[in-house]
Structures are given as C-alpha cells and as structure tokens.
Amino acid sequence: MASRAGKITDGQPGISTRERLLRSAISLIWRHGYNAVSVDAICADAGAHKGSFYHAYPSKAAILSKAIDRIWERDRAELAAIAEGPGTALQRLERHMDWFLENQQRLLSEQGYVPGHFHLAIDIQVPDAARIAAANRDEHHKLLQSAIRASLLEEGADDAFADFLTMAIERIISGVMIEARLGNSLAPLQDLTALAMKLRQLALSAKSDPSFAARPF
Amino acid sequence: MASRAGKITDGQPGISTRERLLRSAISLIWRHGYNAVSVDAICADAGAHKGSFYHAYPSKAAILSKAIDRIWERDRAELAAIAEGPGTALQRLERHMDWFLENQQRLLSEQGYVPGHFHLAIDIQVPDAARIAAANRDEHHKLLQSAIRASLLEEGADDAFADFLTMAIERIISGVMIEARLGNSLAPLQDLTALAMKLRQLALSAKSDPSFAARPF
DNA sequence: CGCGCACTTGACTGATTAGTCAAGATGCTA
DNA sequence: TAGCATCTTGACTAATCAGTCAAGTGCGCG
C-alpha cells in the first residue's frame, strides 16, 4: 500500500503492535479456543500483519504462553491484594470467593460474554501452555489454601481439616466455571461465596459432632 | 492399490466402516479435542478412505453429533440400570456416585488415559453438538437429581433441599472431571462418592440444627 | 448368468493453515 | 544529515484442511 506506511497502524494509537496482538490473542482464544483461532485472525483483529506477528512472537504457541502469563499476572495481583488486605481471615476468605464473580463480571463487560477460566479454552492442546497453566493453577491453589487455613485457625481446626475443605471448594469453583462458560451466564457464580461459606460452617459444626471423626470428608 | 481391493479393509473384520469411523472419531476427539482432529486422521485411524467417510457421514460435525449420542447411550443405560436396580435409595445414590470412577477406570483401560467428560473435548465449538451435549447433560442431571431426592425423602427433606444438594454435588463432579482429565489421573475421582455422601450427611445434620434455616446452602 | 445397488477407492479442488523472507519505512543517535 | 537498529509490509511456501466425485469393486438377488 503506497497511501499509508510506517509504524502507525490500524489499531489504537499508543499501544504497541506486540501488545495489540497479545490482547487480540487473549480475547479470541478465550472465546473460541486455541485451535479454533488462526494467526491470521489474530493479526486481523489486532490490525497487524503476519510479519509483525512473527517479529513479536516466535510462534502461535508462544503467544498462548504469554497470554496465560498475562491473565494470571492480573489475577494474582488482585488475589494477593485481597490476601494482604484488611479484615479478619474470614472476611479475606469471603472476598477471595467474591472475586470469582467480580472477575467474570468484568470479563463479561469487557468481552461481552462469560468466558470462565482461561484454561478451559486451552485444555491439553499445547504441552508448554498446559505446563504454565498448571503452575498458575497451583499458585492459585496455594493462595486459596492459605486463606482457608487462616480462616479455620481461629476455630481450632488443623491444616489437614482445612485442606479437605479447600479441595471441595476448589472443585466446586471448577464446576461453577464450566457451567458459567457453557451457559454464558453469571448465575452459577452468584451463590458461590455463600455456598463456600456454608460448606465451611457445615464442616465446622460437624467437627464438634462426635459422630464425625476428625476428618469430616 | 492392485494387491487388495473391495470391501474388506484394514480395520477389524466384522465391523462396518461406518462403525470403525465412529469409534476412531470418539477416541481421537476425546483425547485431542474436536478442532485438533482432522477427517484425514479419523480415516487413517479407522483404516478407511475419505470417500467412505463422506459416504457414511455428511460432515465432520455430523460424526461429532453421532459420537456424543453414542457415548451418552452407554452412560444412560448404565445409570438407568443403577436407578432401577436393587437396594435402598441411598445405596442406589452411592452406586451412581461410584459409577463416575468406574466409568473413567474403564475408559483408562480402553484408551490408555483418563479422558474426563466427553464434552470437555468439545466445549462450545460446534453449535449443534453443544445443543446435543447440553440435552444429555440435562438428562443426566435429572437422573442424579431424582436419585438424591429419593435418598432424602426418607429423611424427611423436601425437594428444594435436595435440589441444592444436587447442584453442589454436580459442580463437584464437574470439577473432579476437569482435574482428572488435566492431570490424567483417577485420584480426584477416588474420593468422590465419600465426599458426596459426607456432604449429604453434613447438610442433613445441619438441617436439624436450628441455627441453619430450611435452606442450608 | 447378469443386473443393480451399496460401498470403496484415491485423486482432486479451493480454502486455510503456520511460518518465512526480502524489501522497505521509521525513528533514534551521532 | 547520515547511519543503523527496529519495526512493518505483503507476497510467498509447503502442508494441511474439509469436502467432492467419477470410476471402480463386489455382493445379493433375480
């Protein structure tokens, strides 16, 4: 094209091509899944050309890894802020649980649908990406685990007890995320905090019941 | 090829090309996901040719729909047998929960890995398939719901109470399935029955506790 | 025997895929 | 202004994609 050339391209000004490509990749892959999104589609969405893509990223798999990193960066910052924030351990746990709905609410307003966890769009398709996603899931697990442990410490429950509750709540979170994505709805997330808190309460009340051993689960 | 021609092909004898194609499609899609599996790959796995594929199925999307049907056919039969089988309502619920592990155990021995729910390999990629999968999920929901309702009826709990417990258990099942698939491990399924039964017990014991209202969740 | 139908074969199309590359444009620094 | 690194451009490749089709091939039935 002779009419326009140089660095200034179609995308929003002030945002580098590299960044626009990453944002487009995140948005498209999250919605359609990694295998259903082509490099061409990412370039078109970002207003960039193929050569620019491969100047910024060595491969399609590489931008997926960067996407996972970027998403977890934000999530981790927010969850760490909650963990280090004010209030009792129980209140911080409650805010952690609230975050799942708030996060999907923001994604809904940003992207126009409820995407669920990003790793639901990756599955096991790219080994390297699966490795990074697993590491991030583990980091999130540790955050939630310590939040639940802390909220139970003051009730005199030990860590093993807390870890079983953590497992149950994490699986409920996974299930809720799938349901939210498949149904494109925030509804499954609406009761998540209350459900988790009730589960904690139930487990605690059962703990004092002698008919349940030290391990209620 | 002049050395071999006609109807008898590479696949197991006595099984129609149509059937071999379907089985290959199920196996490959379940492992790699719909978008990652090509028609050529299905044909190669089934020992059939492209033309035979399109003689048997009108499109790649069509064989996916058939695959979903086939899988649910077997699952439904097994779950219906449990629902109509002997024992108390509680025992039948327990067998229903056990089935998730048994089913994945069989799939592990048949396919060499733990695949989780088939719909985890489809996601939202083919509208028609998503519709069928949603309908099957709903059928399964009704089976589990009535199993839980029946197991609570004798405890004097009403259906609304049972339906909240159903929701919680279904989300745990989803979470467990994801974890099993991502980790290629039966371990998350190992505690599923005990977890569900404890949850039911906990909810019941809390129901008699006046500090919890009629709706424990 | 021979007709017809169900199925198989494999080459083919046109679109799309991930990735390459050489030539250019730009902007920073000297 | 001149030089240089960085970024952009768009055409290109070779592979793969879903889907088509005309020419078989063999089996059952009359």
**Average pLDDT of the segment spanning A86-98:** 96
Answer whether B191 touches A (CB < 8 Å).
Answer: yes
In contact, A108 and A204? CB cutoff 8 Å: no
Question: Which pair of structure tokens corresponds to residue A143?
Answer: 């955050």
At residue A169, the 3 state secondary structure works out as helix
Give contacts of A200 with chain B, Cβ < 8 Å.
none
Answer whether B187 touches A (CB < 8 Å).
Answer: no
**Average pLDDT of the segment spanning A123-149:** 93
Q: What does pLDDT average to over chain B?
A: 88
Answer whether B124 touches A (CB < 8 Å).
Answer: yes
Q: Which residues touch B188 (CB under 8 Å, ≥6 apart)?
A: A171, B176, B179, B180
**Strand D nucleotides, any atom under 7 Å to a protein CB:** 7-12, 16-27
Confidence band, pLDDT 50/70/90 cuts, at residue A208: low
- Helical H runs in chain B? 17-32, 39-46, 50-56, 60-83, 89-111, 127-153, 159-183, 187-190, 192-207
**Average pLDDT of the segment spanning A204-217:** 57
pLDDT in tens, A31-65: 999 999 999 999 999 999 999 999 999 999 999 99
Q: Min CA distance, A198 vs chain B (Å)?
A: 6
Closest B-chain CA to A207: B202
Distance A19 CA to C27 C1' (A): 19
pLDDT at B12: 59
pLDDT at B26: 97
* DSSP state string for B111-124: HSS----GGGGTTT
Distance A9 CA to C21 C1' (A): 21
pLDDT at B189: 96
Nearest to A205 among B176, B182, B209 (CB): B209
Q: What does pLDDT average to over chain A?
A: 88
Distance A50 CA to D12 C1' (A): 12
Angle (CA) B109-B113-B116 rounded to 5° is 105
Q: What is the pLDDT along chain B (217 residues), one digit of tens a residue?
A: 222 233 334 455 678 999 999 999 999 999 999 999 999 999 999 999 999 999 999 999 999 999 999 999 999 999 999 999 999 999 999 999 999 999 999 999 999 999 999 999 997 778 899 999 999 999 999 999 999 999 998 887 778 788 888 999 999 999 999 999 999 999 999 989 998 998 888 778 766 654 554 455 5
